[in-house]
Amino acid sequence: MPFTDKFIINSNFIPKPSKRRSGLPISKVHFLVAHDTGNKNSTAAQNVRYYINSRNDMSASAHLFVDDKEIIECVPALTAVPEKAWHVLYNVPKDNELYGVNANDAAIGVEYCYGDNIDADKAYEKYIWVLAKLCFVFGLDPSKAITGHFFLDPRRKTDPVTGLAYSRRTYERLLKDIVREYSECTGEMPAIPALNIISKQGSATTTVRLNVRKEPNTTSDIIQTLPARTMLSFKGVVQNGQPINNNGVWYQGINNEFFWSGGVLENSIPDVTSLPVENKPLQNSTEPPPPVAAMNATDLIPDKKCFDFIKQWEGLSLKAYTDSAGIWTIGYGTIMYQNNVHVKQGDVITQEQAEELLAWEIMQKAKAVNAVIQPVILNQHQYDALVSFAYNAGINALRNSTLLRRVKANPADFAITDAFMMWNKAHVDGQLVVINGLDNRRREEAKLYFS
């Protein structure tokens, strides 16, 4: 099967041995790393010339540079036996997690040149072509074998996202276009297998800005774009969706929408057995959490504002403490673990466990709120305020409250504010007294409700 050679690849190799080019061979090319130069308006020739002139001053290097006029190879990859280049730090772990090797030892690095003086469309055309050709030459799957530098080293790098912005394109578009270019240049259309969806109910929280799509691939229509720390419910897991950075697992939402697993953290039950032995909570349950009901298509889901609101008011403690009512509490206001065990003195958890406890408990309260407000339809702010109230006071408190009766009678009734304020007290030394923290929280929940 031939590959269409649309462009010429020129070579201008960095002399070896030098800091930028060791001459060490790559025994096998496992994947490709998409970079941009990070140097606006610098051309391929200028970058290669800089590498050659500073070859013994610094070690950083890459295999190919691409601009609107030419493709230049300065460390052998396609025009000679491929050699190692130093384009990703050795101490970042993501390349090993994804491919089992270090990028410097087993990946080809391709740099995209960009800027006001570079024709973005022509440079992009060459860029996707050379990445597709590299996949062809080294027998790589174009849908799985390409990753961005920013994905491997997110704390330090943004390439090629920054450079692609100058061509009015996104990283997701790049991955899609490389697959298309590969198909066009080989005449081989990739087979589309039937989706393998495993039934599974749960929830997840977005860790990045995330697109929710009609199908589990980046070419599908975007239904909505969600900010980080938005909670989503799902009913299935797709095992063979479009791979993004070698991860093809997607979730199927409750309305048959799809979102990529790499952009979310699944909300699981924290493993309290992993607590230090001397800090394990004792079995002392008095009120089990409400049963978990499946989410209906019409149910609301707490949004980022709700999530942040609760975290703000609860605060965080990784060591158990007593709240204003003398109840042992941990994390973001957790008083009972998922195995119906109360928090006790001496308990210690990790930040990750605190986040999981928070996300899990919010979802439990959210589902319960959806059940008790039926058949009333609320807006997002009203719903979030009630979820916050239930998180703090408990779902049983909401279920039997004047607050819920007023909401169900007329969600727009301003007397609902007074109903919130009925819950600003706690028992202290046997007396029911107003607690400043509760008083302020109830006021803010009422403001959120009517915002």
Q: Which of 258, 267, 173, 174 is nearest to 224 (CA)?
A: 258
Burial grade of 50 (CB within 10 A; 0-12, 13-18, 19 or more) = middle
Q: Does residue 111 have an active-site annotation?
A: no
Burial 359-385 (b: 16+ CB within 10 A, else e): bbbbbbbbbbbbebbeeeebeebbbbb
Residue 211 — φ and ψ, nearest 5°?
-90, 135
Catalytic choice (314, 347, 355, 384): 314
Describe the strand order of the beta sheet including 258-260 as a list of residue ranges. 222-226, 210-213, 258-260, 250-253, 231-238, 197-206, 264-266
Q: Which of 387, 289, 297 is nearest to 342 (CA)?
A: 289
Catalytic choice (172, 184, 215, 323): 323
Distance CA 20, CA 435 (A): 65
Q: Which helix (H) or strand (E) holds 221?
A: none
For residue 438 the two structure tokens come to 């509760």
Q: Does residue 361 have an active-site annotation?
A: no
Distance CA 221, CA 211 (A): 9
Q: Which helix (H) or strand (E) holds 250?
A: strand 250-253
Residues serving a catalytic function are 314, 323
